[in-house]
Homo-oligomer: A and B are copies of this chain.
Amino acid sequence: MGKINLAEKLTQFSEYWSPRTVAQLNHYDIMVVKVKDEFVWHKHDDTDDFFLVLKGKLTIQLRDRDDVHLEAGELFVVPRGVEHCPRAEEEVHLLLIEPRGTPNTGDVRTAVPRQIL
C-alpha cells in the first residue's frame, strides 16, 4: 500500500498497447499504457471503458459517430457495447480503468496478459 507516481511507472516499460496495472480499486485495475499508431476495432459487451490522457493526443474512433479527440487532462468513457478503435500519431500515455480480467481487445483470444507493475 503506497502512493503511485504515474510518470515514474511509465518510465519502466516501453511496449505499446500493453497496459500495466499500477493499483487496484475494488475489482478494478488501474493501469497505465503507452500507445502509438492504431489499435484494433473492438468492443466490451460487459463493461464501459475509461480513458484519461496523461500525455500526448489520442483519437478514439467510433462507428457512425465523430471521432473523439483527447489531449492531456481529458477523459472519455466508451459505453459498453460500443465499437471503438484508439489511434495516436505520436506516443500517448494513458490511464485506463477496467474490471480485472477485461481483455484489452475485447476478446480473450487476442488480448495481452495483464501485467502488474
Contact = CB atoms under 8 A, between A and B. Distances in A.
* A interface residue count range (under 10 / 10 to 19 / 20 to 34 / 35 or more): 20 to 34
A23 interface: yes
B54 A6 contact: no
A24 B74 contact: no
Contacts of A1: 77, 79
How many copies of this chain? Answer: 2
Given A3-B70, A68-B3, A75 B23 contact: yes
Contacts of A26: 47-48, 80, 99
B73 A23 contact: no
28 contacts: A1-B77, A2-B68, A2-B76, A3-B69, A3-B70, A3-B74, A3-B76, A4-B74, A5-B73, A5-B74, A6-B74, A6-B75, A22-B75, A23-B50, A23-B77, A24-B48, A25-B48, A25-B97, A26-B47, A26-B48, A26-B80, A26-B99, A28-B28, A30-B50, A30-B77, A52-B95, A54-B73, A97-B97
